[in-house]
């Protein structure tokens, strides 16, 4: 049965400033949603709040996934539940190779039972390597990625591809892509977009948080939502992106009485 991430009347503040102000949204496994909004509308706050960043304080509301109260969980427990956040600005971890880290993460997310008889509770090295190589080939990621230090000295495009590679390995049920297209040139957007579209299937629900519709040319959402001033003010289908493209956010702001 497909699980649903349900966000109800969510309020999040950062350092005492309310940013998300009563947000409602549902994303089911197998569905693709786009959440579009201008700068300052609360897109990244929502993303980090959903993943449990300690500086993003949830004041009220609920987030339920698979019948579990997500807000009670530590970030790593949210990942084990099947949530994934692709960061807008992935953090560099010098000295930690992508492969070493990913083996630990994949093992943690899949749980001990999935990892066979290994004493350290980690997925067997050979199995992990084979899987990693397959996924890297599938996504057209260079072999050297595995040995490089996590996000350390990566170009903008490499950062995003490393995020998508992790998404592919962790096989979440719901993936939140936080401005995955930002800072990329057209070619890089295409590569990232095609990578993500390869991963899409009935088991993966995607929430694409974005400022521009360019990534949506490659991953076409069934549902489009407009985020303004911390709330979803409009929901619809593909046609909403066309309206935005033609008119921008101003008519929608006006309609809902929201100042810029």
Partner 1 sequence: MQKGDFSKEFLQKIAAAEPQWMREKRLEAYEFYESLPMPHTTQDDVWRRTVDMRTQDYWRRTRRYLRSFAVEKYHPSVPNGAVSSKDVDYDEAETAGVLVQVDGQCHHTSDSEILKEKGVYFADLHTALQEQPELLRTYFMNRAVTLETALKSGNIAQHNKFDALHGAFWRGGYLLHVPKGVTVEVPLRVYIRMSEAEQADLSHTLIIAEEGSQVVVLEDNLSTTPDASGFHSGAVEIFAGQNANVTYVQVQRWNRHVWNFASHRAMVDRDAQLCWVTATFGGRLNKINQAVVLEGAGGNAKMLGLAFTDARQHLDISTAQEHVSPHTFSDLLYRTVLKDRAQSAWGGNIYVYPSANHTDAYQKNDNLLLSERAHADTLPGLEIQAHEVRCTHGATAGKIDAEQVFYLMSRGVSYAQAEKLIVDGFFEPVMERIPLESVREELRTSVTRKLE
CB of 34 to partner 1, least distance (A): 21
The pair of structure tokens assigned to 31 is 């569905």
CB of 104 to partner 1, least distance (A): 5
Which residue in the set 1, 15, 17, 94 belongs to the binding site for partner 1 (CB under 8 A)?
94
Site size for partner 1 (CB under 8 A) = 31
Binding mask 124-153 for partner 1 (x = CB under 8 A): -------------------------x----
122, with CB counted inside 10 A (0-12, 13-18, 19+), is middle
Nearer residue to partner 1 within complex by CB, 104 or 258 = 104
The pair of structure tokens assigned to 122 is 């980690």
Q: Are 7 and 21 in contact (CB under 8 A)?
A: no
Nearer residue to partner 1 within complex by CB, 100 or 182 = 100
Q: Are 12 and 56 in contact (CB under 8 A)?
A: yes
Of 31-90, binders to partner 1 (CB under 8 A) are 51-55, 74-76, 78-80, 84-85, 87, 90
The pair of structure tokens assigned to 49 is 């709040």
Whole-angstrom distance, CA of residue 78 vs CA of residue 84: 8
Binding piece for partner 1, criterion CB under 8 A, among 4-12, 18-26, 100-108, 215-223: 100-108
Largest CA distance in the chain: 61
The pair of structure tokens assigned to 54 is 């300690």
> Measured between alpha carbons, how far is residue 84 from residues 41, 60, 234 in Å?
21, 22, 25
Of 170-199, binders to partner 1 (CB under 8 A) are 170
Nearer residue to partner 1 within complex by CB, 85 or 174 = 85
CB of 100 to partner 1, least distance (A): 8
CB of 132 to partner 1, least distance (A): 14
The pair of structure tokens assigned to 61 is 């509301």
Closest CA to 101 of 70, 72, 128: 128
| Cβ neighbour number for residue 194 with a 10 Å cutoff | 14
Whole-angstrom distance, CA of residue 31 vs CA of residue 223: 8
The pair of structure tokens assigned to 179 is 């401005």
Of 196-255, binders to partner 1 (CB under 8 A) are none
105 touches partner 1 (CB under 8 A): yes
Nearer residue to partner 1 within complex by CB, 9 or 118 = 118
Which residue in the set 3, 166, 195, 241 belongs to the binding site for partner 1 (CB under 8 A)?
166
Which residue in the set 5, 10, 23, 108 belongs to the binding site for partner 1 (CB under 8 A)?
108
Given the rule CB under 8 A, which residues bind partner 1?
51-55, 74-76, 78-80, 84-85, 87, 90-91, 93-96, 100-102, 104-106, 108-109, 149, 166, 170
């Amino acid at each position: 049965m497909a699980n649903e991430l349900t966000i109800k009347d969510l309020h999040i503040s950062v350092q005492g400033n309310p940013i998300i102000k009563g947000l409602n949204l549902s994303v089911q496994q197998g569905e693709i949603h786009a959440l579009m909004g201008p700068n300052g509308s609360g897109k990244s706050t929502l993303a980090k709040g959903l993943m449990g960043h300690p500086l993003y304080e949830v004041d009220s509301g609920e987030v339920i996934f698979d019948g579990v109260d997500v807000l009670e969980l530590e970030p790593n427990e949210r990942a084990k539940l099947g949530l994934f956040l692709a960061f807008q600005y992935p953090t560099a971890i010098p000295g930690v190779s992508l492969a070493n880290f990913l083996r630990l993460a994949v093992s943690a997310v899949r749980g001990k039972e999935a990892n066979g008889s290994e004493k350290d509770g980690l997925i067997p090295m050979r199995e992990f390597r084979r899987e990693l190589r397959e996924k890297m080939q599938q996504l057209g990621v260079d072999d050297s990625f595995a040995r490089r230090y996590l996000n350390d000295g990566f170009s903008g495009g490499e950062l995003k591809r490393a995020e998508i590679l992790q998404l592919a390995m962790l096989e979440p049920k719901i993936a939140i892509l936080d401005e995955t297209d930002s800072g990329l040139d057209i070619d890089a957007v295409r590569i990232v977009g095609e990578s993500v579209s390869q991963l899409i299937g009935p088991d993966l629900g995607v929430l694409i948080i974005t400022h521009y519709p360019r990534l949506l040319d490659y991953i076409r959402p069934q549902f489009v939502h407009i985020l303004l001033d911390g709330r979803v003010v409009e929901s619809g289908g593909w046609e909403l992106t066309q309206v935005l493209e033609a008119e921008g956010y101003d008519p929608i702001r006006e309609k809902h009485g929201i100042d810029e």
